Amino acid sequence: MTVIERSSFAGRSLTLIWYEAKEIPVGLQVAQVSAFCLDDNNQVLMIKNKHGWGLPGGHPELGETIEESLRREIKEEADCTINDFELLGYVEVADPQNNSIEGRVYIQLRFFCHLDKIEDFKSEFETSERKFVPFSQLPEYVTWMKSSLTGRAQYDSFIRSNH
């Protein structure tokens, strides 16, 4: 499934395209990794930061593999580890006025994973809270899953991957 929408961020016009995919495309800058993580009760891990509730994830660091980045971000933001993961797809972002490190066209990878270890949560500079919610409540916490066409498509891809 492919979904296209026009959006804006920080005063810039963007084009977002969601691609449901099992492989990471070659030749595009990966600007973000994040994951729908399930616990043993089939609930989804959520983290809260200065932007509100969301999925754990972030920017890959220089020299890091995608897997290393995903595992590090989940550990840093939620004090959890994962035992497996698979790509659900990616958002290709065309951001012609972006002068940041990501460049003008980049991708944001979305994964599905199962949690291996859930450690005691410590509120840190990035993440103030952690919670687990049923699938059906995700759009109530992560508002882009109901307000954005590509966000809804990501949520739908996650739901299909679990049924």
pTM (2 d.p.):
0.93
Task: Give the per-residue SS3 of the chain.
Answer: CEEEEEEEECCEEEEEEEEECCCCCCCCEEEEEEEEEECCCCCEEEEEECCEEECCEECCCCCCCHHHHHHHHHHHHHCEEEEEEEEEEEEEEECCCCCCCCCCEEEEEEEEEEEEEECCCCCCCCCCEEEEECHHHHHHHCCHHHHCHHHHHHHHHHHHHCC
- Domain with residue 105: its CATH number is 3.90.79.10
pLDDT at position 162 over 80: no
Point out which residues pair with 37 in neighbouring strands: 113
Identify whether the C-beta of residue 59 lies closer than 8 Å to the C-beta of residue 31. Answer: yes
Identify whether the C-beta of residue 16 lies closer than 8 Å to the C-beta of residue 5. Answer: yes
pLDDT for 127 equals 92
pLDDT digits (tens, 9 = 90+) for 87-138: 999 999 999 988 887 889 999 999 999 999 999 998 877 899 999 999 999 9
pLDDT at position 155 over 70: yes
Q: Could you tell me the residue range of the domain that residue 115 belongs to?
A: 2-161
State phi, psi for 89 to the nearest 5 degrees.
160, -165
**Average pLDDT rounded to a whole number, residues 19-47:** 96
**Average pLDDT rounded to a whole number, residues 42-65:** 95
Using pLDDT thresholds of 50, 70 and 90, give the confidence band for residue 24: very high
**Average pLDDT rounded to a whole number, residues 140-162:** 94
Residue 58's closest CA among 69, 68, 47, 49?
69
pLDDT for 123 equals 83
Identify whether the C-beta of residue 88 lies closer than 8 Å to the C-beta of residue 162. Answer: no
Provide the domain count of the chain: 1
pLDDT for 163 equals 55
Percent of the chain whose predicted confidence (pLDDT) is above 70? 99
Percent of the chain whose predicted confidence (pLDDT) is above 90? 84
pLDDT at position 151 over 70: yes
